[in-house]
Structure 1
Amino acid sequence: MTTGKDLLDLGFKSGKWFKEALEHINAHGLAGEAMLAYLREVGPPPALPLLPAPQPFFENIRADTAVEQQNIDYVRLSMQQLMRTPTVVTGAVMPDACPAGPPGTIPVGGVVVARNAIHPGMHSADICCSVMLTNLGKADPKTVLDVAQRVTHFGPGGRPPERQYPLPAALRAALAANPFLNSEKDLSLAQEHLGTQGDGNHFLYVGTSAATGDTVLVTHHGSRGVGARLYSAGMKVAERFRQQLSPETAPANAWLPADSPEGESYWAALQLVRQWTKLNHQYLHDDIAERLQASVQQRFWNEHNFVFKAGDLYYHAKGATPLAAHFLPDAADARRIIPLNMAEPILIVEGDVTANNLGFGPHGAGRNLSRTGHKRSKADKTKEAWFAEETRGIDARFFFNEIDISELPSAYKNAAEVKRQIAEFGLARTVDEIQPYGCIMAGDWEVNAPWRVKKRQEK
């Protein structure tokens, strides 16, 4: 009688399939080549090793300072490790690249192309982080910002019931039909988080077009709790596949085979989250325009944290702006949006697919230091002094009235240098710039978070 030890001795990996396979082998008296042929048919495929050398990737970035060089060295190390993942074909690094985790993790400003595989860790928890632009004609910028401050919602949690926007029935039904998005918690967040922007580097920006003088509204945020929960669920399923398909692959780079039932459901879930996120932007823009009684002259948007498909290739953009038309089939406009920092113009660009950009451009200015590192570098002045100095000439506001020094312009790479590198590497063409009037960001909401208030009271 054939036993599990016999299968292990033959080099097969144990699993739930052993029981059924052994029953079949012993019931039919299989042995020798006939048994091996059956086992190869029903057993899991051989584990995929890491590639012997990194797949090629393009570096569209250069350093002008020692700090920037350290940043690039870390990014390069991460990409070299990541590019040995068995599914990976090629990749690229943008001028705004900066580390986003331990070595081997896709950096911000990174693009990784994989064959027939979706890697949740390569789009991160902020799925479909994106920007939307609405031209409001000759509306007064200050009035737009004042109205926007009354409309938008930053920070944790969702909108209170009396201020919620309706979740369309068709979208809710589609979410409920997807195994990755159908829990009561998912559906509840899909309702509550509509019209919210979160925190961190997300913003609401008002400026004027250099080309037309029109007032323009730009929002930057992602899919909030809906996308974060999808990411967590996707990573769990990808980890199960990793243990079976490629134990040598780093957990951060685990993947779902795109042609598996799980992969197909995850891809469908990504599209639903994209639809939800676009609606999240639209509600804010429409509400503001309606209160202003302003006519919308034009509107376009693009994501920069997402997965895009071309044939059996999946383009994972972690902070990279898709330029190619086939990546945004619902876009009626060829223009894309690249913000830099609150005191700098937002770039409006167009671009082509080239060998070195893979159809993408940068998504912003990126960082050379972590948030904590930047705060340490500014310890010689108060945050109020830094705020006054760095926001001179613009109407910068924090939703929670607490300055977040890690979001001031100096926290980001030099905007002029990023623009120069976009041109130097032929990544995109700037067709307009939105000159800043002002912006709203979350600010340091944790200063007055309930647990901190309680701790201060106890002291």
Structure 2
Amino acid sequence: MNELTPLTGHDLTAWGHTPGPQFPALLERANTLLGTGRNRDDIREALAADLPPEPVEYPLQSAADVPLFENLTPADADEETNLSKVRETIRAVMETPTVVSAAIMPDACPAGPVGTIPVGGVIAARNAIHPGMHSADICCSLMLSDLGNADPKAVLDAASQVTHFGPGGRAQGQRFTVSLDLLDAFRANPFLNSAKTIRAAQEHMGTQGDGNHFLFVGTSRRSGRTMLITHHGSRGPGAKLYKAGMEVAERYRRKHAKGTLKQNAWIPADTEDGVAYWDALQLIRKWTKTNHNSIHQATVEAVGASASDRFWNEHNFVFRRGDVFYHGKGATPAWRDFAADADPAGRTIIPLNMAEPVLIVKGADAPNGLGFSPHGAGRNWSRTEHIRRLGAKTPDEALIEEAKGLDVRFFCGKVDASELPSSYKPAAALEAQITEFGLATIEDWIDPYGCLMAGEVPRYQRRVKGRR
């Protein structure tokens, strides 16, 4: 190449400079030096002081150096096997450079390949938000409304007409309203400002999805009053935020922490990306709370009741204390004021299974739980293994046997065997371990009248987006 040929941005990039706002001035300076007769090697050396610093590489740390608190006492061989797998996966997570402590709850069980945060896992990370640790079901949460003396059957009947389970969202003409202020806030955030995310926020309002999400009606043991409880997360908008967050976290991982597992990539909280992602999480949290509220309020109006009390809590989310970010994957924050709208009385909600009471507890902010309590009963084996263990018994037969006397309904018409009570850990054991490890104080038990689950979706129905 002729030494007098003007230098370009490609030359600067080849020399290791990063494109950005500083590029025009740097290029002008390079060509000025070229015009004075300096050769390219001299110019490259003259500009070396402006090279960006070498990226900091964060190596894996030893899990042995990170405190791990176990709040789980295995009761049988299945529980021993489960705990062994939980230990294996959470210790691999603890090698992530940002992690400063970890805990497992009584409901802990693996949730993916080794190195993936388990259900019932809590990870504390300094100055880092790990999207993979709150998972795609961001802000999966529970809300309770006290409906006084309302007839439980009437409440469940009304709720069955109000709510929506299954894949996709609501069809045109059946959608719940989303406030323009909330949609505008989505548009102002770089992680949420996409046509698909905005559309999902509109279509999925008033929906609960599938899997273990439910609508439960029961009676308070302490007051005898009827309670409505919903369980679901942020649906499509949350899943899209998770995907966007993982993409940004992966860029940081490739630059600074190649040894870290992809599912444990993080966004530095003090960066522009970190601030925007934290704000996006709060907006998704607001959307999810609105979603719960919309289903509760529509049910209240349909049954002609009123709600004298309502509170909620999330268990797939990130909570901040100073510069440490606590990632609860299927774990419930158990300290007062974990959020500005946390219940003033410090109550949170822990469901067990469809045939057992929902627990109302007050958190203990236990150091051995990193301030968390369980989110539910958890599983000792996979959904597939549970179905295998049913043997010749059909899901319908098992439901009749396990939920005798309860009004259990499946929105999509077919019993989901993986949600039967026998697929979960024994409720009594979980309740006992909450007390044994001092994770929370049980204040009330909401005994079940019945519930509405998603159920298995027929194959033809899965192909029809938005169908009820």
State the TM-score, normalized to the length of structure 2. Answer: 0.89
What letter is aligned with 2:150? A
Per-residue deviation, residues 354-403 of structure 1 (Å, max 9, x unmatched): 22011110000001111111111112212221111011021111001101
Per-residue deviation, residues 426-447 of structure 1 (Å, max 9, x unmatched): 0000000100000000001145
Structure 2 partner of 1:401: 413
Deviation at 1:451, TM superposition (A): 5.8
What letter is aligned with 2:91? Q
Structure 2 counterparts to residues 424-439 of structure 1, below 5 A: 424-439=436-451
- Asked if 1:17 corresponds to 2:27, the answer is no
Deviation at 1:45, TM superposition (A): 2.9
Structure 2 partner of 1:112: 123
What letter is aligned with 1:137? G
- Asked if 1:268 corresponds to 2:269, the answer is no
Distance of 2:146 and 2:15 partners within structure 1: 60
Paired residues in the alignment total 434
Conservation of the 8 A alpha-carbon contact between 1:154 and 1:399: yes
Per-residue deviation, residues 207-255 of structure 1 (Å, max 9, x unmatched): 0000000000000000000000000110011001000010000001000
Distance of 2:250 and 2:396 partners within structure 1: 45
**Unmatched tracts of structure 1, length 5 or more:** 1-12, 453-459
Per-residue deviation, residues 398-433 of structure 1 (Å, max 9, x unmatched): 001101000000010000000011111000000001
Distance of 2:261 and 2:421 partners within structure 1: 34
Deviation at 1:293, TM superposition (A): 1.6
Distance of 2:271 and 2:386 partners within structure 1: 43
Structure 2 partner of 1:4: none
Structure 2 counterparts to residues 35-54 of structure 1, below 5 A: 39=51, 42-54=52-64
Distance of 2:16 and 2:78 partners within structure 1: 49
Deviation at 1:326, TM superposition (A): 3.2
Work out which of the residue numbers 385, 392, 399 in structure 2 matches 1:373: 385
What letter is aligned with 2:18? W
Work out which of the residue numbers 368, 386, 390 in structure 1 matches 2:398: 386
Structure 1 partner of 2:322: 311
Deviation at 1:177, TM superposition (A): 0.7
Per-residue deviation, residues 5-29 of structure 1 (Å, max 9, x unmatched): xxxxxxxx99763997999795384
Gap change, CA 1:138 and 1:16, over 3 Å in 2: farther
Work out which of the residue numbers 352, 362, 370 in structure 2 matches 1:340: 352
Gap change, CA 1:27 and 1:277, over 3 Å in 2: same
Identity within the alignment, %: 55
Distance of 1:97 and 1:367 partners within structure 2: 8
**Unmatched tracts of structure 2, length 5 or more:** 1-13, 31-40
Distance of 1:283 and 1:15 partners within structure 2: 53
What letter is aligned with 1:369? W
Structure 2 counterparts to residues 76-87 of structure 1, below 5 A: 76-87=87-98
Deviation at 1:169, TM superposition (A): 1.0
CA RMSD, aligned part only?
2.1
Structure number with bigger Rg: 2
Gap change, CA 1:15 and 1:51, over 3 Å in 2: farther
Distance of 1:212 and 1:428 partners within structure 2: 21
Q: Which moved more, 1:42-51 or 1:56-65?
A: 42-51
Deviation at 1:449, TM superposition (A): 3.1
Structure 2 partner of 1:457: none
